[in-house]
Structure 1
Amino acid sequence: MSSIGVLKIALLAGGTSSEREVSLKGAEVVKKALEKLGHKYEFFDPAQDLPKLAQRAKEFDCAFLVVHGPGGEDGTLQGFLDSIGLPYQGAGVLGSALAMHKGISKSLYKLAGLNVPEGKTFSKDSSFEIIKTYGEKIGFPLVVKPATQGSSIGLSVVKDKKDLKKAVEAAFNVDREIILEKYLKGKEITVGILDDKPLPVVEIVPKVSEIFDYETKYTPGLSEEICPARLSERLTKKAQEYGLIAHKTLKLRHYSRTDMIIVEDEIYVLETNTIPGMTETSLLPLAAKVAGYSFPALIQKLLELTLRDKNT
């Protein structure tokens, strides 16, 4: 055990988003790590247990969040924990909200000098004609995705304009705002940040799907993750620098993971995850492992960062 001693932790997972199942899977892995570290924990599901946690907040040293998507990663839960005085790992309210909206985070990336794919945000009030006109302007294939969902839920690659309406409806089915974006074909990578330092770059090679979609992300064997990524030293450094710029631009803390794509030696930033996945197939734990952190050591590091920053 380190200097923080034995902790009593409120482990939050589940919630009401479409990523509930992934969240619960991650929590099982985190539970084993906490047991190995000798910490005590109690499980709370934000879908129903928040009133109970509010009453008992003083019993815990901190919360540990394994909650993804709206209601868990968008600042809502972070605001609740701030209000009951319970410290937690990862981004605060502002950073969570900024990173959750892919359209807003994309605008901030651009202001910070990062490359992003050409694209635009549309609300449910937008007529399909306006959306179609923009789609034709950027050309096919293009990507249609919800503005505030994670795990590639509701995302489609549209190769032909006859399929655009179906993809737009699918994205609006899970979100009030959607993004149309130029489809970039290249090498998919992701850069984790831990304690304001970049981790080794992970390269993602989908084996079946042409994109790293929900099924590919969470089904072992459907993609190959290579860490360190097969990149030149120059591109590796540039990707890590981009990951750190994205992390700082979105006002994040402790850790994050930014997804990117490399097209002809040019790196484009796609999105940043403020509560990266913690399942057996997750990417940030893989990068941390290559950097020398076992899974329990990664959890311990995040707990140390949480307690270090609880008064800041």
Structure 2
Amino acid sequence: MAILNVAFMFGGRSAEHDVSLRSFQAIYETLDRQRYNPLLVGVSRDGKWWLHEDTKSVLQNLESSGAQIVFLPGGRGKAIVHGPGTGYTLCHVDVAFPMLHGPFCEDGLLQGTLETAQVPFVGSPVLASAICMDKDIFKRTLRDAGIPTPRHLALARGEELAFHLAQRVLRSSSLFVKPASLGSSIGVSKVTCDSEFRAAIDLAFTYDNKILLEEYVQARELECAILQDPEVQTELLSSWPGEIIPANHHAFYTYQAKYIDQKGTIWKTNAEVAEAVADRVRALSCAAFRAIGCEAMARVDLFLRANGEILINEVNTIPSFGPSNMFAKMVEASGITYRVLVQRLLEHAIKRSERGGSPISARATLASAEPVRDDIR
């Protein structure tokens, strides 16, 4: 049975660097070493790619391992490794698994690099990644497709808007202010007055050159995991919705509530909703996935109002695989184990490359493995 070289890529230049490390650790610890040989590609905060030999070196010092790595354009998985005193050597990558969050990866930049290098990779292609990363373009795309999403306004750096005018346009007394292209609630503020509004705008602009002003939606926060069938691209498998309930001492689902405060959030893998509501959540989630052109996987974040209205808030093309994230939990609750989930995503990457006609290594064929259940609904 051929063992595949899988390049796990993590870290990155964005403010979600530490979130990415959690995702990588969760996958690395459960990887089936009988089928996959992990290559650890840590991306430092200055954007350099470092090849690490073990997780200990990554966690102690991701910024340098002594050997840098770069994929060859058109190299079909060939990568150059350069280390001090060792000169240049070649290694081969069968498939890449990007686990970097935020700008400089999740926005399509890394996907474009991998496509240029003809390396099969896990996740959505360039365009879908870019659309989902830019929340302004994302919401415009949903609206054009007739999919409901919260009202918003976008501001570029240098543009100004009075708080009362934003309230009037968005028809909301409270507003959310956030960077247009960042996740994990970094740089996000909930505002109720003009002074808070100005401070929130200044904060958001420290992370991005475009920011969003959004209406406040009084609703339950739901999530839905989507997996695309590796063989039949039109078939999407969707989970029963999960629910996120931030603790009362957090104004909303903040970064602290997600990753720092152990009592900051209650996560319900199976939200207590009627089956008809769950069906609508799944249908809207799949519709958003298709409208954007996503592939492989996504976590769809939604709002459920008290009157039953459902709004799509975001689609995350590289959901965190950390222990506190809902994506893997929802998939596992639906009957697909963590190990099979990782296997399925790698299989999808290679099947897509084969369909697209991109030459890949003859070794890059997945041997028969434990059955993958398709009963997730």
- What TM-score do the two structures reach when normalised by structure 1? 0.94
Q: Render the CA deviation track for 1:51-85: whole Å, top value 9, x for unaligned.
A: 72315832011001111000010000000011111
* In the alignment, structure 1 residue 270 sits paired with structure 2 residue 313: yes
CA RMSD of aligned residues (A): 1.7
* In the alignment, structure 1 residue 288 sits paired with structure 2 residue 285: no
Q: Distance in 1 between matches of 2:124 and 2:20?
A: 17
Q: Distance in 2 between matches of 1:110 and 1:174?
A: 26
Q: Distance in 1 between matches of 2:142 and 2:34?
A: 37
Q: Give aligned pairs, total.
A: 308
Identity of aligned residues (%): 27
Aligned equivalent of 1:245: 287
Q: Distance in 2 between matches of 1:79 and 1:295?
A: 27
* In the alignment, structure 1 residue 39 sits paired with structure 2 residue 39: no
* In the alignment, structure 1 residue 305 sits paired with structure 2 residue 348: yes
Aligned equivalent of 1:48: 48
Would you say the 8 A contact 2:167–2:174 is kept in 1? no
Identify the range of structure 1 (216-225 vs 9-18) with the bigger mean alpha-carbon deviation. 216-225
- Report deviation, 1:35: 4.4
Aligned equivalent of 2:373: none
Would you say the 8 A contact 1:37–1:296 is kept in 2? no
Would you say the 8 A contact 2:102–2:183 is kept in 1? yes
Q: Look up the SS of the partner of 1:99 in the other structure.
A: helix
Aligned equivalent of 1:214: 255
- Report deviation, 1:45: 2.2
Aligned equivalent of 1:169: 202
Q: Which structure 1 residue ranges, 5 or more long, are not aligned? A: none
* In the alignment, structure 1 residue 142 sits paired with structure 2 residue 175: yes
Sort the Cα spacing of 1:53 and 1:41 in 2 relative to 1 into closer, same or farther, 3 A. Answer: farther
Identify the range of structure 1 (196-205 vs 29-38) with the bigger mean alpha-carbon deviation. 29-38
Counterpart amino acid of residue 242 in structure 1: L
Q: Render the CA deviation track for 1:132-151: whole Å, top value 9, x for unaligned.
A: 52235433211111111111
Counterpart amino acid of residue 300 in structure 2: T
Would you say the 8 A contact 1:135–1:180 is kept in 2? no
* In the alignment, structure 1 residue 178 sits paired with structure 2 residue 222: no
- Report deviation, 1:210: 3.4
Identify the range of structure 1 (145-154 vs 215-224) with the bigger mean alpha-carbon deviation. 215-224
- Report deviation, 1:241: 0.6
- Report deviation, 1:36: 5.0
Sort the Cα spacing of 1:37 and 1:289 in 2 relative to 1 into closer, same or farther, 3 A. Answer: farther
Q: Distance in 1 between matches of 2:36 and 2:286?
A: 31
Aligned equivalent of 1:78: 111
Q: Render the CA deviation track for 1:163-196: whole Å, top value 9, x for unaligned.
A: 1100111111101111111101110001110112
Q: Which of 263, 266, 269 is the aligned partner of 1:224?
A: 266
Sort the Cα spacing of 1:222 and 1:36 in 2 relative to 1 into closer, same or farther, 3 A. Answer: farther
Q: Distance in 2 between matches of 1:204 and 1:175?
A: 26
- What TM-score do the two structures reach when normalised by structure 2? 0.78
Identify the range of structure 1 (288-297 vs 74-83) with the bigger mean alpha-carbon deviation. 288-297
* In the alignment, structure 1 residue 154 sits paired with structure 2 residue 196: no
Q: Distance in 2 between matches of 1:37 and 1:216?
A: 37
Aligned equivalent of 2:24: 27
- Report deviation, 1:199: 1.5
Identify the range of structure 1 (62-71 vs 138-147) with the bigger mean alpha-carbon deviation. 138-147
Identify the range of structure 1 (201-210 vs 4-13) with the bigger mean alpha-carbon deviation. 4-13
Aligned equivalent of 2:123: 90
- Report deviation, 1:259: 0.6
Would you say the 8 A contact 1:11–1:63 is kept in 2? yes
- Report deviation, 1:203: 0.7
Would you say the 8 A contact 2:269–2:326 is kept in 1? no
Would you say the 8 A contact 2:22–2:322 is kept in 1? yes
Would you say the 8 A contact 1:36–1:296 is kept in 2? no
Q: Distance in 1 between matches of 2:344 and 2:4?
A: 13
Counterpart amino acid of residue 222 in structure 1: G
Would you say the 8 A contact 2:17–2:101 is kept in 1? yes
